[in-house]
Structures are given as C-alpha cells and as structure tokens.
Amino acid sequence: MSMLAADPDVIRIGNCSGFYGDRLGAMREMLEGGQLDVLTGDYLAELTMLILGRDRMKDPGLGYAKTFVTQIKDCLGLALERGVRIVTNAGGLNPAGLAEKLRKVVADLGLDARIAYVEGDDLLGRTDELGLGAPLTANAYLGAWGIATCLESGADIVVTGRVTDASVVVGPAAAHFGWGRTDYDALAGAVVAGHVIECGTQATGGNFAFFTELADLGRPGFPIAEIRRDGSSVVTKHDGTGGAVTVDTVAAQLMYEIQGARYAGPDVTARLDTVELAPVGPDRVLISGVTGEAPPPRLKVSLNTLGGFRNEMEFILTGLDIEAKAALARRQLESWLPERPAELEWTLARLDRPDAETEEQASALLRCVVRDPDPNKVGRAFSGVAVELALASYPGCSFTSVPGNGAPYGVYRPGYVDAAEVPHIAVLPDGSRVQIAASEQTRALQDVETPELPEPLPAKEFRRVPLGAIALARSGDKGGDANVGVWVRTEEQWRWLAHALTVERLKELLPETRSLTVTRHALPNLRAVNFIISGLLGAGVAYQARFDPQAKGLGEWLRSRHIDIPLELLP
C-alpha cells in the first residue's frame, strides 16, 4: 500500500481533460483551485487513436498527446510543490516516447520528478496471430493495476497507453487504500467515480439537458472525486468555479456511452443498476451502493483502419420546389460523374420554411457524400463536377464550400482477445519492468435479468408536448452504435416513463432508427432507461455516417419530439 493522500480514508482525485483538445489551461486551474492528491487527464477516444496513428505514420517518435507536454511544461513545478501526482492516458500509441519526452522536460526545467509508464496494450505487431486483421492501430484496454504499481514505486507522473477511461482514477485509489484484486465492490465504486469525472466538465453542467437551470455555466469547473476506502465517493468541484454538481449532472455523465446494467472493465464489472446518488451539500453528490463482479475473461481491443477516402459537397436550395430541385441536382450529378464512387449518399435537410423572412430561413441543404478506396474518384473528379452544375441546374444553385480533394477516413471496430494474451507492463522510474498478471477470477458477461418495473401510472388527461418537458437525456457513441439514456426526477414520472418509452415508441420518435436493432435497458435506481441503437453511426465516428457522427445531439433530438404526457406530471 502506498499512501497518496494525507487522509488514510479519502483520496481526492481531480480531472483536467476529457478529450484531446480540451481546455489547455485546465491543469493549472485544477492545481491552483484547491487541494488535490492526484490529477488525472483523459486524452483518448476511438477517433483520437486514429489521429495518433496517422501522427505515428509521419513520425514514429510521435503517437502521444502533444498538448499534455505543453501542460506539463507549464505546471510541473506547481504539481510537485503541492504534492499532486499526475496520471494520464496521454501516452496514446507511444507511452514510452512520451515518458522520454517528459524526462527531457523535467531536465530542462531543472526539477526532480519521477516518471513511470504503462505499456503492453499495443497489439499491432500481433494482429495476424490474434485474428484481428490488418488495422492501422490495435490497442487492448488495460486496467488499473499497472498504474497502481507505478504509483507505489513513488512515481510523480504515470503515463499510459490505451487503458479504460476509469482506470486513471481506479489505479490511484487502489494504491492508496491497498485494495486487492478481488475487492470488487470497492473497485466498482471507483470505476463509477472514474466514469463520472473522465469527461471533465460534462459532470459539472456541460452538455446538460436542463442547462437553463444552472446559474453559472460560463466556464464550468472540472470535476473532483473524493473516493473513500469502501469505494463510495463524493463528486464535487473546486469552490468558486462555474457550473454545478447535482444529482442530475452526475446522472447525465453516468448515462453517457454505456450499454447495459453491467459496465465491464478489465479489473471489475460494475453493476450500474446498484448505483445510488444523493446530494450531500452544495456541489456535492454522494455515489454509493455500487456492487462489482469479476471481470470478463477477454479484453476489448480498439481497432482502427484507414477505410479509404471521403469527400462531400453541399448544395443550397432556396424557395419553392425544394424536392424537385434536389431531384434535379441529384440526377445531374450522378449522370455527369466519369466514374461512380464505391459509396454515394444523399441527404436533404429541410431547414426551409414557407414565406420566410430571410433567405437563409427559406433554404434547405442537399448534401452528397462519397467514399472510395481510390482518392481520385472522390477528389476533383467529384467535387469539380458538382461545381460544374452551378450554371446548368436548378434556379439559385449554389454551394456551402469550394471544391476540394478527398480526405482519408477511418473505420473503427472492436475486437476481443483473452486477457492472458495481452502483456501489461509497469515501467518504473528506475527503468525496472513489472509484469502485471491478468485477473485470475473472471465471469462471462451477460445481461442482467429484466428489473422489476413500477406499476404503470393511471392517467386520464394527457397533453402532447416535447418529451424534454420532464425528461433529461444524454447520448454518445460506442463504435458504430449510439446510446441514448433518458431519465426523470420523480417516482411518479418514472412510473410513466418506464412503460411509455419502449423500443417501439423510440423508433416512432426517431424514424432514423426504424430499420436498426434497438435494445433497451432499465435502471430503476436512476429512474432511467438506456437505449443502444446498433449501426446508427456506420463504421464509427471517423466514418462520418451522419451529420452528427458521435450522436452527441441524439438525446436532444429525442427530447424535442412530442409525446402524450400525463397532465399531472407536467410542470
């Protein structure tokens, strides 16, 4: 056991990054804003791994989040002065390279900091052996024990490659409290805390459905998890920062990018159906009651491949006969192309309105997206032909951009390998290497039994209003799938929602999902239902299958749809 905090029963872990490109000044804000024991940062996402893979193709010495280096140059002295350890997955595809870069930064600053890193997740050289195909990147999701080992060795900074987002929080908690590999409830509690703070300000009011209720959303503060020895935690933020921490802002992040009631990881499977939330003070929410189970026997692998080249042109259609104008443009473009690309998709966005007071309000957008392995077929051979229609097509023909060449696009898919096949290595500050064993106890992942739902709410009077009149939502991407979680605030509202918002009703409200497989999971403790919409995002975010490629706005679209709600439930 390695004490990382003065309090033996609580460790205070903050977050300063939710993605590669997040607020650059957040590390300093968190270090200056109040007391912390550990500061974490999440820089990786499925799309980020593709970006870093392309960086590494240009320069084998890259492949890590360069902005983290900038932050360390600015803040390392302050972190050391305050005794704050830093744990991050900014190593991306090259944690050893980032560690070496940080050592140079430390030397240049004239400071004394111990750097450790975790590696083993990169399976690119073994993809044939493991049956993973021939991707550009192949990274298994490691867990928290390598991080814990690095911290126990006295590391001031620990950088990793692809670990689960919550692992940067679980590792410090496990090291501080001396948890064992089978302390599943405590580990699961830390996983939930890590999941809540991993996306930064999404836990403090960012992307929050009822944002108009928040007094100060100008510059939300980043979140903090005060994790206790039993795995329970209090989510909070530094005093005087913007945003808010409420039961609903925490629930919103809990619902983000999840699937069923079992939240699987390499160290533990957390039961989200056991999570209990309660306010315990201003900007303080208690997470308790979380139970855990042995992890599944296989690790998930993030696989990114360059799928080919992509281009798009967007036509502006104004005024009358919008459908006929769109049909003419489509017919002309497809017949004028010298070669048809492998994929050619049209989308007409009817943003126009009758008798509009401005030209923009009178206009619709017709988007044509093309993809092909051959960049020439989607380059000027496509976009140049589109522009050639300018004087030969529908009245008022114009475009939102000039013609351009196609750009490469990525395809994401998950893979799975036996945990014992994946090395997990902690490289300590003195250079020694510690092999982290896979979990000895495992449990195959299965859906939980359908939970008992409350009795339906008897109601006689209804009003047709937006679902968002009483319901909150949060949505996101999981590879080619999307999730949308919906929850309400009162037991009476839950009695209605649990029975009203079925898979069939969701498909009615979101017609784009009608041909897709949709799965619903109920979480009564959170008064929530979570939907997994399989295939909505095609081959992942980099594929850009729809105009909202990460499904960020899917929940807000659902909230805007009208549905019959019992009159007694409305504000």
CB within 8 Å of 512: residues ≥ 6 apart:
536, 546
For residues 546 and 510, what is the distance between their CA atoms, to the nearest angstrom?
A: 14
**Average confidence (pLDDT) over 471-493:** 95
> Do 246 and 132 have their domain in common?
yes
pLDDT(523) > 70: yes
For residues 233 and 225, what is the distance between their CA atoms, to the nearest angstrom?
A: 6
> Do 390 and 422 have their domain in common?
no
> Do 188 and 289 have their domain in common?
yes
pLDDT digits (tens, 9 = 90+) for 9-61: 999 999 999 999 999 999 999 999 999 999 999 999 877 888 888 888 888 88
Contact between residue 167 and residue 142 where contact means Cβ atoms under 8 Å apart? yes
> Do 27 and 160 have their domain in common?
yes
pLDDT(538) > 90: no
Buried b (16+ CB within 10 A) or exposed e, 320-357: eebeebbebbbebbeeebeeebeebeeebeeebeeeee
> Do 400 and 525 have their domain in common?
no
> Do 292 and 312 have their domain in common?
no
Q: Which domain holds residue 538?
A: 462-569
For residues 373 and 375, what is the distance between their CA atoms, to the nearest angstrom?
A: 6
Tokens, residue 91: 């190593």
Q: What is the pLDDT of residue 51?
A: 85
Q: Is residue 444 part of a domain?
A: no
**336 three-state secondary structure:** helix
> Do 235 and 165 have their domain in common?
yes
Q: Is residue 440 part of a domain?
A: no
> Do 110 and 140 have their domain in common?
yes
**Average confidence (pLDDT) over 494-507:** 98
pLDDT digits (tens, 9 = 90+) for 86-110: 999 999 999 999 999 999 999 999 9
pLDDT digits (tens, 9 = 90+) for 109-118: 999 999 999 9
Q: What is the pLDDT of residue 93?
A: 95
Nearest CA to 522 out of 460, 449, 455, 461 is that of: 449
> Do 247 and 314 have their domain in common?
no
Q: Is residue 139 part of a domain?
A: yes
For residues 224 and 409, what is the distance between their CA atoms, to the nearest angstrom?
A: 36
Q: What is the pLDDT of residue 306?
A: 87
Whole-number percent of the chain with pLDDT over 70: 100
pLDDT digits (tens, 9 = 90+) for 211-230: 999 999 999 999 999 999 99
Q: What is the pLDDT of residue 553?
A: 95
pLDDT(407) > 80: yes
Q: What is the pLDDT of residue 142?
A: 98
Give the CATH number, domain containing residue 378: 3.30.70.380
Name the average pLDDT for the chain: 95
Which band of pLDDT confidence, cut at 50, 70 and 90, is reported for residue 1?
low
Contact between residue 174 and residue 148 where contact means Cβ atoms under 8 Å apart? yes
